[in-house]
Amino acid sequence: MHCLEKYALACNALIDTPHLEGSFFPLPFDKYITLDLGAEFNHRQYPFFQDVIHDILPVLQANSIHIIQLGDPRDPPLQGVYYLNNRTQVGHANYLLKNSLLHISSQSFSANVANCLKTPQVLIYEKNEIDLCGPSWDRDSLDLFLHKGAPRPSLGAPTKTISVLSVYPEKIAKKILNNLSLDSSFLNYETLYIGDSYIHNALEVIPNFNAPNNAYHKTLVNIRGDLGFNEQAIASWCNCERKIAIKLPAVFNFNFLQHIKNFIHGTSYEIHMDTSMETLQQLKSLGKDLRLYSCEENLDALKELRLKFLNFSIEQDIKTTEKSLDISEDIDYTSFYFKSSKKILSNNQIFESLPLALQGVQAQAEPLIINSPQFWEDLKFYKIYKKNG
């Protein structure tokens, strides 16, 4: 039974379509669609809307259609949208939704409002909740993406498996364009994998050049000191209110770390059986986050290592490989493309992956996979896809 029917039964009342008042809101354009990132609970939010916009924006712009972002003021503004979060009152939002060509959202309050106003929608919903609490006034205006969700309906606690991540962006982009009667045939790619950290931007620096003036202000910068411990280059990143996280080499200058410790967010260090206790005590004395890790695959050897350094927490750093994709052992991965949310800076240039940075080769707009261990170690930051036809 739908929750609306339960309320009506409890109140001995009839269900009817609400009347929603709208207030005029001036816009510098006529045609638009609306987008709401929010959801009733965070675990139901769809995190890949930026990729959806990247796919549809050129076609929308060619047809003079804009994208208005509505919703919670805490939602980050997406690139390519007209951002109105926290800039409208209820009546303004009703007006904008009523005159929208199409509304896109997850399980949000605006989805119910748009449904009352009979605005066509593309919605991302859990299968077992659409009939319990989904928009119910005009089901014909809904184009749904249903994902598995929790085994049972949940109105509070987040699901352990976030199944909304299984809805890939190109599928939503095609639905949007089809609902607007626009061409979607150019979206001829198929997403095969999206890493857990793809939605988070990361910046990694190989310290072989000095930091650009005033660039990456107030940014956390990951320094690959294990690929070169150039003290002058590292020190150049210690300004502009930046914080740095350093992956240390086996041998390093501790006095230098003490000198720049106010800019250090944390350090990571690979530990071995021959690592000196003095080195670990020095790193601990910095008073910063310290991540000790071991690449030892043998569990017995790892236990011995942890026993020797009993007072320290040691992580097992398990390297990801192409087998981590779990697609097929016979696939030629070098025919696939990737997009990374981690940017690598080397010699004052930006690269899409570590192998490209080490080779000094700039990738094309859509770079192909490089089947190497250094490429796969950043798998969690990648979206991997293939082109059809």
CB 222 within 8 A of CB 203: yes
Contact (Cβ atoms closer than 8 angstroms) between residue 78 and residue 69: yes
pTM of the model: 0.84
Q: How confident is the model at residue 266 (pLDDT cuts 50, 70, 90)?
A: very high
Contact 125, 110 (CB under 8 A): no
pLDDT digits (tens, 9 = 90+) for 184-228: 999 999 999 999 899 899 999 999 999 988 788 889 999 999 999
Distance, in Å, from the CA atom of 104 to the CA atom of 312, rounded to the nearest integer, reads 49
71 vs 62: which has the higher pLDDT = 62
pLDDT (tens digit, 9 = 90+) per residue, 131-177?
A: 677 777 777 767 766 655 555 555 555 544 456 777 899 999 999 99
pLDDT tens per residue across span 5-46: 788 889 988 888 888 899 999 999 999 999 998 755 566 688
What are φ and ψ of residue 164, in 5° steps?
-60, -20
CA distance 26 to 364: 41
107 has pLDDT over 90: no
Strand arrangement of the beta sheet that strand 382-387 belongs to: 189-194, 382-387, 337-340
Q: Residue 75: what pLDDT?
A: 87
Q: What domains lie within the chain, and their CATH numbers? A: 3-185 (3.40.50.2000), 188-270+319-389 (no CATH)
Question: What is the model's pLDDT at position 311?
Answer: 92
Q: What is the pLDDT of residues 360-385, one digit of tens each?
A: 988 778 899 988 999 999 999 999 99
- Distance, CA of 373 to CA of 322 (rounded, Å): 8
pLDDT at residue 161, rounded to an integer: 44
